[in-house]
Amino acid sequence: MERTHSRWRKTLGLVLGASLLSISAASAAELTVWCWDPNFNIPAMQDAGARYTKDHPDTTFNINNISQDEINQKLQTQLLAGVTDGLPDIVLVQDDNIQRFLQSFPGAFVPLSDSIDMSKFAQYKVAAATYDGKSYSLPFDSGVAGLFYRSDYLEQAGYKPEDLQDITWNKLIEIGKDVLSKTGHQLIDVDFNDDGIIIMMMQSAGQWYLKNGTEPNILDNPALKQALVTFQDLNKAGLVKPISNWTDYTGAFTSGEIAMVPQGVWITGTIKSVPEQSGKWRVAPMPKLDNVDGATHYTNNGGSSWYVLSSSKNAAEATDFLKTVWAGDVDFYQGILINQGAVGSLLAARDGAAFKASDDFFNGEPVWQNFSDWLAKVPAVDFGTFTPEARLAVRAQMPGIASGGNIDDALKAIDAQLRQQMQ
């Protein structure tokens, strides 16, 4: 493995010397991009490419629709083999997976912080792709989270919007019991094969499954333990509707069956897909964990960022493109917010008209402005290289916890499984 990485670093050193010329010397080229989702990432990149081409008419873009899993597999296989043929110029990678590549394949990606001012972006996004003092990503979409809720159900139960401001999860459980008894609607739905609700609670207190990205942070992690306790309490109170797939998950709230959706901002489009529910929804800050030091109302679920491969013959131009549009064009971010519902990580975009606009679907609330304000306050965490393994270990224990299992025993099992996978 070390010989492979050594050979890879030598190869990349030659590539970097040849390709990373000054930005001003960037030449026309076809930039190949790998990303997923034809309704979100791809049209956003197409718009960015069109904007860049206006001033760089000889530059073209070849945007490929490739799934997350396939991107991860292709990168892992080719970087491990030291083979750069066929790799793109720019690639999209999920935030919680990038450290695996940065640490396993040093030199594989261009350190964009050498060319782009990273203080322009939400710092928790920058931190996700920082390794050995340099940042490698152009931070893209945020998974900043909020508590979407049916205001009509809350009103029927005797609550007002201000009753969901600055509350804890225990308070939300009290409210949820009232909503259930007075309206018959459960509070939330959860797929026990997805630990999204756990990581949102945990990150809101600045904690993660790993300590310093390298050591399991399970047994002495008060935020994780309280998140599991809260998850169990929600289930004990009958406030959780268990589901088992994405269709059932979205169907539970688009049908009006449940009262709330604690989720990343990217769920907004799905919630708004039922026009007859316009004016029946609002968004509040996330509840914070009870009795946990550092607990906040700000957290995240999901999100990805753009990377330039060091093996690219067009690395300088790819970097210039990202710097020009993705790190500098505020108007571009207004467009992808309106057209794709993408809340980008460029902080200056918050001052644009689209972010400040109110939304009648959400009772006239400035939801985009609220989300962008929360974005700047999300605690940064170190995902490390074993987040996927940690998440699988937690998911394995969620059904037992939901049914009243011992949480300390569950934490021990999570820790043991994670440590075994890290060997």
Per-residue pLDDT of the chain (423 residues; tens, 9 = 90+): 333 343 344 344 434 333 343 333 345 689 999 999 998 999 999 999 999 999 999 999 999 999 999 999 999 999 999 999 999 999 999 999 999 999 999 999 999 999 999 999 999 999 999 999 999 999 999 999 999 999 999 999 999 999 999 999 999 999 999 999 999 999 999 999 999 999 999 999 999 999 988 999 999 999 999 999 999 999 999 999 999 999 999 999 999 999 999 999 999 989 999 999 999 999 999 999 999 999 999 999 999 999 999 999 999 999 999 999 999 999 999 999 998 989 999 999 999 999 999 999 999 999 999 999 999 999 999 999 999 999 999 999 999 999 999 999 999 999 999 999 998
Q: Are 176 and 187 in contact (CB under 8 A)?
A: yes
Task: Report if pTM > 0.85.
Answer: yes
Q: Kindly give, in sequence order, each residue whose CB lies less than 8 Å from that of residue 119, ignoring residues fewer than 6 positions away.
A: none
Residue 416 is part of which domain span?
144-296+380-422
The CATH number for 333's domain is 3.40.190.10
370 part of a folded domain: no
Domain presence at residue 18: no
> Does 359 lie in the same domain as 407?
no
Q: Domain check: are 349 and 391 in the same one?
A: no
At residue 246, what is the residue type? W
Is 89 found in the same domain as 45? yes
CB 121 within 8 A of CB 137: no
**Same domain for 173 and 280:** yes
Domain count, the chain: 2
Secondary-structure percent of the chain, ordered helix, strand, coil, rounded to 5: 50, 20, 30
